[in-house]
Amino acid sequence: MLTFTSHGGAGTVTGSRHLLTHGDTRVLVDCGLFQGLKNLRELNWRPLPVAPPTIDAVVLTHAHLDHSGYLPRLVRDGFAGKVHLTPATGDVAALILRDSAFLQEREAEFANRKGFSKHHPALPLYASGDAERAIAAFAPAPLHRTVALPGGATLTFRRAGHMLGAATARIDIGGRTVVFSGDLGRYGDTVMHDPEPVPDADAVVIESTYGDRRHAPADPVEALGAVIERTVQRGGTVVIPAFAVGRAQSLIHHLWQLRQAGRLRNVPVYLDSPMAGSATLLLHRYDDEHRLDRRDYEAACAAVTYVRDVGESTALSANRYPKVIISASGMATGGRVLHHIAAFAPDHRNTLLFSGFQAAGTRGRKLLDGAREVRLHGRWVPVAAEVAELPMLSAHADSDELMRWLSGFRRPPRQVFIVHGEPAASEALRERIGRELGWPATVPLQGQTFVL
Ligand SMILES: [Zn+2]
């Protein structure tokens, strides 16, 4: 009997952890951190309902923290199998997991020093050694090549767009074909290729981040230029929370296009991330996995100032001249962007610009919902700055694009599971799939098991 259970990423966009069980074989697809709402974040500290030593393999669709960030904890709790991922995802995930372990350790240390944690002492969820052991378990599998998984199962990755290395996963197990969309990117994106269609599946597990939304058809470059120009005209700074690998490169490319068109000539752009340089090297290493022309991209990068060390980053927060700062994390849940928000949010001339999906409970969502103050490092900071959102810059497919990917199946799957969305978004996509394709679809609850 083959079963499917979501232990995370059901009814929420974070903490993706989907389990396939066939006989004694257990394959976990994605192994993400819960982020955002406190009751979700607390789930990171609860033991996984399935004992990590009994999991035979992990398949990682892409490197984002909400899909990969629990791996070091899984390894610390006894998982001893391989982590199957694309080569590019392996390189990006190594950066992300090392950075995540560093942030976990530093936050625990900071909480202990300032005494604002309920726990004494505050402990990190995992440490750098755990991240290194997780990275040592990586088993890269190139796109389109079918590789073996434990228990006679096989795995085939195809392009998902979304971010460098991102893939859909086709898993053949127990006589069935199960396809996981992972996170799907946009069609016609300037950086990433279109998501590839998958011809057939018995069961499909699809994300629904924007299952209830269509991105505005406006030109993203134009929209970005307009936000920056009006901020600069009032003497302000634009702070853009964005992850260093992926959206940051798109933003840099868009900003360069604006400069080529004679706009934003005197507005300095800073990419404040310890990973920024590595991200550029990775784009070069995986030249055929994205649409950026190397010469164009080098020219775009030359127009940006890279901020690597913390001292320079702090100095940037104190600099009051109009500028653009791109810094992680993308949902303002951690990272250097926090001290930029603390520095720039109180002044009405500045703008906080969000380009990606902001999960419920994150600072990003609270700001977009109109919060007039935000808690940062244990203190309340007033928000007078403009807060803007450009979802068309997002790395996620909208509802039309999710339907377009589904239309690639040559025969209707017998089962469709809708995950990785807040309840209204998942439900809207479920209805739309029923109405337009006539396929029965289900929005699983966390922990609910289905026979495939
Ligand atoms: Zn993602």
Query: What pLDDT digit, counting tens, does each position of 289-326 carry?
Result: 999 888 888 888 888 999 988 899 999 999 989 999 99
Gap from CA of 16 to ligand 1 centroid (Å): 10
Gap from CA of 162 to ligand 1 centroid (Å): 7
Whether 17 contacts 9, CB under 8 Å = yes
Gap from CA of 183 to ligand 1 centroid (Å): 5
Q: Tell me the pairing of strands 57-59 and 25-29.
A: parallel
Paired strand residues for 346 = none
Residue 439 and residue 30: Cα distance in Å, rounded? 25
Residue 164's alpha-carbon distances to 62, 301, 398, in angstroms, are 8, 17, 19
Helix (H) or strand (E) holding 181: none
Whether 255 contacts 227, CB under 8 Å = no
Gap from CA of 236 to ligand 1 centroid (Å): 31
pLDDT number for residue 116: 65
Gap from CA of 182 to ligand 1 centroid (Å): 8
Average pLDDT over residues 360-376: 94
Q: What is the phi/psi pair of residue 26, to 5°?
A: -125, 125
Helix, strand, or coil here: 207?
strand
Gap from CA of 382 to ligand 1 centroid (Å): 30
Q: Which residue from 425, 426, 420, 422 is spatially nearest to 443, judged by alpha carbons? A: 426
Gap from CA of 438 to ligand 1 centroid (Å): 28
Gap from CA of 62 to ligand 1 centroid (Å): 7
Gap from CA of 209 to ligand 1 centroid (Å): 10
The pair of structure tokens assigned to 428 is 């809207």
pLDDT number for residue 118: 67
More confident residue, 430 or 39: 430
Gap from CA of 280 to ligand 1 centroid (Å): 19
Gap from CA of 263 to ligand 1 centroid (Å): 31
| DSSP string over 261-291 | TT-STT--EEEE-TTHHHHHHHHHHTGGGB-
More confident residue, 35 or 384: 384
Single-letter amino acid code for the residue at 380 = W
Gap from CA of 184 to ligand 1 centroid (Å): 8
Gap from CA of 314 to ligand 1 centroid (Å): 29
The pair of structure tokens assigned to 255 is 């900003």
Gap from CA of 66 to ligand 1 centroid (Å): 7
Whether pLDDT at 117 is above 70: no
